[in-house]
Structure 1
Amino acid sequence: MFTSINPATGETVATYPELTDAEVEKKVAAAHAAFAQWRTTDLATRTALLSAIADQFETNKQRLGEIATREMGKTLKSAVAEVEKCVSGFRYYAEHGPKLLEPVEVPLAKGTGTARWLPTGVVLAIMPWNFPYWQVVRFLAPCILAGNVGLLKHASLTQGCAQAIEEMVTAAGAPQGLFANLGIPSRRVAPLIEDDRIVAVTLTGSEGAGIKVAEAAGRALKKVVLELGGSDPFVVMPSADLDAAAKAAVTGRIQNAGQSCICAKRMIVHTDIYDAFLDKFAQGMRDAKVDDPMAEDTTMGPLSSVEQRDTVLDQVATAQEKGARLLMGAEKIDRPGAWMTPGVLVDVPLDDPVAQEELFGPVAMVFRAADIDEAIRIANDVPFGLGSSVWTNEPAEQERFVRDIEAGMTAINQILASVPEAPFGGVKRSGHGRELGPWGLHEFMNLKAVLSAPETAPKDAGSAATD
């Protein structure tokens, strides 16, 4: 049984049954059968379904947003914006899909060749609670376009969101079995990965979960895409617009209550502007309105759970024990639910374990850098490499950061955000593979080479070597 608890009140929202083995088998079998039909559908049929699903999300965006806010605490405004982003994701693949799947001519010395993208089968997605709709759509939209079929193992916190997604797909007219939510706990995932009817796995989650899924997929020799944790640097140089950078840093740190893989987590500021930036940033963090996530003027709601809130507070306490100074905030709010204030840590030793971890909550670490070389060293001095944000108006510095920061993504003079058109993913212990754009579409497709003999064979064809 899954229990959905509203983190703003501590009250139970709903309970959801755990599927039995027989129920899971029925859904896997239906998905396998659906692939046999869906793989041969024309692109017009696939893109029409994507557009229809987009329509369902758009029509129901307010209701879907309210479900997410009740289940995991993000502000209603941001939850509705997330649903709108899902609409754009479905529409992107509906509009551009046929172009992304066109065969590519392969020049050959003899004969003709093409490279074609073909579907592979049933893809299992293991998704987290922090963006309960968008994380799923990042896999689902390209999955449908590719001619594949999707199964979802969603987080236990957001089973209501998972059911709502399945409802939207069904209402759009999807064939039976094309997409299904599997209400099962994490301990029941490994047998699914081993199932021959499932051809690939994609996971967004923690480093620990990624290791377990990668091990299981490796034993089964199956393709896996991993989008894991991040401790993204937010670098500010003297040429930056300081007011804009400080304002963006606040938004980047407290959006979704700091519970985003690509939130700005480590502020790395050039020494010449360090004090001025810190004053502006800390004041912005103090000014954040932490209140009812359903209210229009709330900037930050509760964290997703009391357990998640307490994990963040424990990390802050550990950092202080190692010598870091808590400049402000990071305090538990005495009210029912998973509430805390935004916080700022300074003077964090670089070898402090907390400096090497992901702070998945609204607490920032601020570091001082003497020059661009030190800023890059600090940025890279973590095991993660997901995203980064750099603030400078010097073109040469921009190029240095793009070249030398070890990350899958770099935003220049803006907050990093995922968009349907661009590849999303990281390096190092932030995972491997990419979502979104043509790259995410092609991850779970068979790139087949098609080689055709020339119309007139050369005279020495009989003695030609073959491979």
Structure 2
Amino acid sequence: MKSINPATGEEIATHEELTQAQIDAALDRATATFASWRDTAMEERTALLSALADAYHDHRDRLARMATLEMGKMLKSALAEVDKCVAAFRHYAKEGPAMLEGGSIALSSGGKADLVWLPIGPVLAVMPWNFPYWQVVRFLAPCILAGNVGLLKHASNVQGVAALMQEMMGVAGAPEGLFQNLPIRSDAVVGIIADDRVAAVTLTGSEGAGRAVAEQAGRALKKVVLELGGSDPFIVMPSADLDAAVKQAVTARVQNSGQSCICGKRMIVHADIYDAFLERYAAAMAAVKAGDPFDEESDMGPLSSAEQRQNVQDQIETMKAAGATLIGGETMPGPGAYMQAGILTDVPVDPALMGEEIFGPIAMLFKAADMDDAIAIANAIPFGLGSSVWTKDAAEEARFVRDVQAGMTAVNQMLASAPEAPFGGVKRSGHGRELGPFGLHEFMNLKSVYRK
């Protein structure tokens, strides 16, 4: 597997895939480590989480640089991502033990049932490249606290990141086998899911990948958590702070070069302010500077690969053929996978078009006649991950929270994940939750112990 710098097109490194014998050996290590780790004291688990936080903090520059080299993330954004991982490790180290206090329930027949949270075993994580540290840590931190062990199948283009994450486990003093990076292709995942040594699987990725993993997990009768992205609505009403909404709408599309699952992609603007919004939005998007991700003066780096840029260009052409108009969004010359930020207007309200998640710095802009129309446009796709609503009207806010079909809604701000809050979607955006106590409990056995 090759790591290619998307800013230059140059090869960084190659990584050898594991053989089947090496995969089997890794699964044996996971099984053996789980047998002992599940019995460790809570103090030992939280101490390891704190040590991991220290390791990521101490090596933040090196970790961030690798993410920038492998997938083009702005260095300042990569540093922020590493810091977010540090916060997640510290959160579960401090608050996690209280999340595992099961309590007890009085029974109407007499007696009680004590509730005990227990680990279930090795968990396979199939993770994407766009937030190569954070996507993994939001599975790994609760996995360690729960008493489980982790197996990572990372995206092939960020194997340098995956190797560094494995290294950080050693720096923190983790037992061998507690977390293992598996440099494998997607076709090897089927056999691992079916293997009795693996208890469950979590995936962040495309709808197609989610269907494949869910099917295999279903055949094996194993728990699965899926986060499959979406095409999130960003609704702006007349009472909103227009300047703030425009600013955040720009960030939503250029953060991580537009390659974020939960950032707004469909800007749905009330007709009364549509023209004013478009004028300011177009000017702000045109001012975005795409350039060297190591240069602090750049606003965004390249897309993750030339292939990913071509995917976005193909989506643009499909929408233009359906009647949409592109403002900006041109491909930039040179060896890197750069493109300018852009806006698609006049996109037909067609689920097939709107449901196409544009993983790049391109926004789709829609005019809504009223609140009902805005909600209808927001919900007219098969996905429901996140959403952002901009209004100062309390009644409108309550209606959006109730009726926009999404796992998460941000009010007068851009949606962002946090270690403390559950993360996940509805509809074809997946099922299950990560982060917070709910993410911790997803891969645990809630045992009822009946007593007189």
TM-score range, shorter chain: over 0.9
Q: Give, as a single letter, the amino acid of the residue that structure 1 aligns with 2:230.
A: G
The sequence identity of aligned pairs, in percent, is 65
Secondary structure in 2 matching 1:189 = helix
Secondary structure in 1 matching 2:363 = strand
State yes or no: 1:78 paired with 2:77: yes
**Alpha-carbon RMSD:** 0.7
Which digits, 9 at most, give the CA deviation of each residue in 1:70-112, with x for residues without a partner? Answer: 0000100000100000000000000001100012211212112
Which digits, 9 at most, give the CA deviation of each residue in 1:135-179, with x for residues without a partner? Answer: 000100000000000000000010000001011111101011000
Secondary structure in 1 matching 2:250 = helix
State yes or no: 1:213 paired with 2:213: yes
User: What is the alpha-carbon distance in structure 2 between the residues aligned to residue 120 and residue 104 of structure 1?
Assistant: 20
Which digits, 9 at most, give the CA deviation of each residue in 1:30-62, with x for residues without a partner? Answer: 011000000011110000000000000011111
Secondary structure in 2 matching 1:264 = coil
2:149 corresponds to: 149
User: What is the alpha-carbon distance in structure 2 between the residues aligned to residue 234 and residue 22 of structure 1?
Assistant: 48
1:159 corresponds to: 159
Q: Give, as a single letter, the amino acid of the residue that structure 2 aligns with 1:341.
A: Q
1:311 corresponds to: 311
User: What is the alpha-carbon distance in structure 2 between the residues aligned to residue 310 and residue 174 of structure 1?
Assistant: 41
User: What is the alpha-carbon distance in structure 1 between the residues aligned to residue 178 and residue 351 of structure 2?
Assistant: 47
State yes or no: 1:290 paired with 2:290: yes
User: What is the alpha-carbon distance in structure 2 between the residues aligned to residue 352 and residue 115 of structure 1?
Assistant: 44
Runs of 4+ in structure 1 deviating by more than 2 angstroms, as ranges, are none
C-alpha displacement of 1:283: 1.0
Greater shift in the superposed pair: 101-110 or 163-172: 101-110
2:401 corresponds to: 402
User: What is the alpha-carbon distance in structure 2 between the residues aligned to residue 207 and residue 408 of structure 1?
Assistant: 16
Tell whether the 8 Å contact from 1:69 to 1:293 is kept in structure 2 after alignment.
yes
User: What is the alpha-carbon distance in structure 1 between the residues aligned to residue 355 and residue 129 of structure 2?
Assistant: 23
User: What is the alpha-carbon distance in structure 2 between the residues aligned to residue 12 and residue 354 of structure 1?
Assistant: 35
Secondary structure in 1 matching 2:44 = helix
Q: How does the TM-score come out when normalised to structure 1? A: 0.96
C-alpha displacement of 1:296: 1.0
C-alpha displacement of 1:298: 1.2
User: What is the alpha-carbon distance in structure 1 between the residues aligned to residue 117 and residue 20 of structure 2?
Assistant: 34
Secondary structure in 1 matching 2:265 = strand
Question: Map of 1:89-100 to 2, 5 A cutoff?
Answer: 89-100=88-99
Question: Does the C-alpha gap of structure 1 residues 352 and 148 become closer, same or farther in structure 2, counting only changes over 3 Å?
Answer: closer
2:433 corresponds to: 434
User: What is the alpha-carbon distance in structure 2 between the residues aligned to residue 136 and residue 107 of structure 1?
Assistant: 39
1:235 corresponds to: 235
Secondary structure in 2 matching 1:129 = coil
2:281 corresponds to: 281
1:200 corresponds to: 200
User: What is the alpha-carbon distance in structure 1 between the residues aligned to residue 169 and residue 394 of structure 2?
Assistant: 45
Q: Which runs of 5+ in 2 are unaligned?
A: none
User: What is the alpha-carbon distance in structure 1 between the residues aligned to residue 393 and residue 241 of structure 2?
Assistant: 12
User: What is the alpha-carbon distance in structure 2 between the residues aligned to residue 153 and residue 65 of structure 1?
Assistant: 20
Q: Give, as a single letter, the amino acid of the residue that structure 2 aligns with 1:239.
A: S
2:139 corresponds to: 139
User: What is the alpha-carbon distance in structure 1 between the residues aligned to residue 224 and residue 423 of structure 2?
Assistant: 15
Q: Give, as a single letter, the amino acid of the residue that structure 2 aligns with 1:369.
A: A
Question: Map of 1:107-126 to 2, 5 A cutoff?
Answer: 107-109=106-108, 110-126=110-126
Tell whether the 8 Å contact from 1:127 to 1:136 is kept in structure 2 after alignment.
yes
State yes or no: 1:342 paired with 2:359: no
Tell whether the 8 Å contact from 2:122 to 2:151 is kept in structure 1 after alignment.
yes
Q: Give, as a single letter, the amino acid of the residue that structure 1 aligns with 2:423.
A: F
User: What is the alpha-carbon distance in structure 1 between the residues aligned to residue 95 and residue 431 of structure 2?
Assistant: 24
Larger Rg: 1
Q: Give, as a single letter, the amino acid of the residue that structure 2 aligns with 1:49.
A: L
User: What is the alpha-carbon distance in structure 1 between the residues aligned to residue 284 and residue 62 of structure 2?
Assistant: 31
Tell whether the 8 Å contact from 2:351 to 2:380 is kept in structure 1 after alignment.
no
User: What is the alpha-carbon distance in structure 2 between the residues aligned to residue 111 and residue 345 of structure 1?
Assistant: 63
User: What is the alpha-carbon distance in structure 2 between the residues aligned to residue 357 and residue 387 of structure 1?
Assistant: 15
Greater shift in the superposed pair: 351-360 or 184-193: 351-360
Secondary structure in 1 matching 2:43 = helix
Tell whether the 8 Å contact from 1:3 to 1:16 is kept in structure 2 after alignment.
yes
Q: How does the TM-score come out when normalised to structure 2? A: 0.99
Secondary structure in 1 matching 2:389 = strand
1:9 corresponds to: 8
Q: Which runs of 5+ in 1 are unaligned?
A: 454-467
User: What is the alpha-carbon distance in structure 1 between the residues aligned to residue 253 and residue 7 of structure 2?
Assistant: 20
State yes or no: 1:185 paired with 2:185: yes
User: What is the alpha-carbon distance in structure 2 between the residues aligned to residue 6 and residue 320 of structure 1?
Assistant: 30
Tell whether the 8 Å contact from 2:341 to 2:362 is kept in structure 1 after alignment.
yes
Question: Does the C-alpha gap of structure 1 residues 145 and 352 become closer, same or farther in structure 2, counting only changes over 3 Å?
Answer: closer
Tell whether the 8 Å contact from 2:351 to 2:382 is kept in structure 1 after alignment.
no
Secondary structure in 2 matching 1:184 = coil
Count of aligned positions: 451
C-alpha displacement of 1:337: 1.7
Q: Give, as a single letter, the amino acid of the residue that structure 1 aligns with 2:225.
A: V
Tell whether the 8 Å contact from 1:235 to 1:389 is kept in structure 2 after alignment.
yes
Tell whether the 8 Å contact from 1:319 to 1:352 is kept in structure 2 after alignment.
no
C-alpha displacement of 1:352: 6.7
C-alpha displacement of 1:353: 3.1
Tell whether the 8 Å contact from 2:352 to 2:381 is kept in structure 1 after alignment.
no
